[in-house]
Amino acid sequence: MDGAAILALVVLGWALFAVIGGLISAHKNRGALEGAGLSVLFGPLGWLTAALLPSKHLPERSRPQSRSLSMDEKLRVRERRVKSPGERLDDDEALQYLND
């Protein structure tokens, strides 16, 4: 193998490390660039670092306030609301309809 082929393999491996690190970090609600940077600098140890960092949680006020509907509530919604055939209500729509 000549120098160009080795360099291409190194760059491809580096990019693969960055993508995997970004995915790990994004899965933990951290910035994908954070995980990619750690992986580029430290390789598989960057993956481990990104995986062991604590997850960032969404602020409480930005989380939707929803609950699951009981079977009785779902039946009442189906009886009261007319939808086109094959169309279904999700739980949030059903709760909003019940509360109206």
Report the pLDDT averaged over residues 84-94: 64
Task: With a cut of 60, say whether residue 40 has pLDDT above it.
Answer: yes
Query: 68 pLDDT exceeds 70?
Result: yes
Number of H helices, E strands in the chain: 5, 0
Instruction: Taking residues 33-41, report their average pLDDT.
Output: 90
pLDDT at 72 exceeding the cut of 90: no
What's this model's pTM, rounded to 2 decimal places? 0.53
Distance CA(97)–CA(17), nearest Å, equals 48
pLDDT band at residue 78, thresholds of 50, 70 and 90? low
Residue whose C-alpha is closest to residue 22's, from 8, 38, 6 = 38
Q: How many residues does the chain have?
A: 100
Interatomic CA distance for residues 76 and 89, integer angstroms: 12
Percentage of the chain exceeding pLDDT 70: 70
Considering only CA atoms, which of 96, 94, 41, 50 is closest in space to residue 71? 94
